[in-house]
Amino acid sequence: MPDTLRLTVNGEACTVTVPPRTQLAEVLRDHLELTGTHLACEQGVCGACTVMMDGRPVRSCITFADACDGAVIETIEGHRDDSVMARLRDAFSRHHALQCGFCTPGMLATARDIVARFEDPDEATIRHELSGNICRCTGYVGIVSAIKDVIGQRRTEGGHAERPAPAIVRQPASFRTFEPAPTTEAPAKAAASAGSVSAEAGRTVVRREFTLAHPPAEVWVLLRDPIRVAPCIPGASVESLDGDRFIGAVEIRFGPIRARFGGHGTFRNDDARQEGRLSGEGDDKLGKSRVRGELQYTVAPGASPGTSRAAVELRFEIEGMLAQFNRPELVTGFVDYILGQFAANCDVVLAGGEAGPARRLSVFAMLWAVLKARFRRDRN
């Protein structure tokens, strides 16, 4: 049954009838011909489709139209007469903050939201807030400079330039905004994990525990051996081993971004305590991202006889295009997804089978698994 929606788009009331499961981006582009809203990943990752809904930025590619009945939408076309947007457009131009311009409507929407919400943000805050918008050709230096420029203009003008309010402030009763919640359920079929994600001394620190259906002695024999354990980690491979040194790689697919981190590291195992430590670093030559970190792992008896409880602590920092993986919100789902796959593969190997064929780690697959888990949880 088609849904009939009442929307206010760029100040004009309109009614559209669309099939169920239509996304807001399709309504804007295909029904209202507002093609300034761009579509790229269509998975909620790149931010190209960002528009303002009831004063907040939303990903229109993953916003169901039937959740928007009664909403007030501002697209890039609707900001034509907005004075803050005029300053941002001018600053983007002066700071060379765009080349092809594909990401620019989404960037401008997010930039306006930053200018509206922050009095005097430092560069790290601006970059953090921008990390949900991907620019594939220009880079972020000019974009950050443009935002700083507009905020600087406001400060120089003092009381004459108030911090702008978000574009719209009405909240329709029928629309419940999405509030991120901590993931409490591992998306893959492995046992539940527990732990925390935090930022410490410039590094992201992830602590997790998970259960394996095999006794600690067997699990430790597997975990202590990089050659055997590497195929259990999605996308990972060990290319050579020399004493306590290894050379290896991890492949990641992030929509249009393909990253292959090649690197090296060392590891040390304490068999008596069944604990180990691995440290390493690597870079992705094409994407110019760089990662370095440490992993500590221990194995102990599980709650049930014949099972194990494995605890891991991962400390890392990423620079470059994939730096958004430093964000705790994204890391939480990412780590749970990897651990779910990893624990399931370990159990298969310990039962005498083989881990699935080496695959690149698809972040979209991970995001989809996280969203499915959330959807199931919300329905229960």
Nearest approach in angstroms of CB 19 to ligand FES is 19
Considering only CA atoms, which of 170, 168, 153 is closest in space to residue 82? 168
Comparison of 29 and 208: residue with beta carbon closer to ligand FES: 29
C-beta closer to ligand FES: residue 138 or 211:
138
What does the DSSP assignment read for 212-236? ESS-HHHHHHHHT-HHHHGGGSTTE
Nearest approach, Cβ of residue 60 and ligand FES (Å): 7
Query: Smallest gap, in angstroms, from Cβ of residue 47 to ligand FES?
Result: 5
Nearest in space to 27 (alpha carbons), one of 53, 52, 61, 56: 61
Q: How far is the CB of 138 from ligand FES (least distance, A)?
A: 4
Residue among 106 and 164 whose Cβ is closer to ligand FES: 106
CB of 340 to ligand FES, least distance (A): 24
Label residues 333-358 b or e (16+ Cβ within 10 Å = b): bbbbbbbbbbbbbbbebbeeeebeee
- Between residues 165 and 286, which has the closer beta carbon with respect to ligand FES? 286
* Least Å from the CB of residue 103 to ligand FES: 3
User: What residues are paired with 277 via a beta bridge?
Assistant: 268, 296
Report the residue number, 104 or 269, with the smaller CB distance to ligand FES: 104
Report in angstroms the alpha-carbon separations of 82 from 75, 85, 109.
12, 5, 12
Residues that bind ligand FES (CB under 6 A): 39-42, 44-49, 59, 61, 98-104, 135-138
Residue 137 or 227 with smaller CB distance to ligand FES: 137
- Spatial CA neighbour of 124 closest among 332, 327, 293: 327
SS3 110: helix
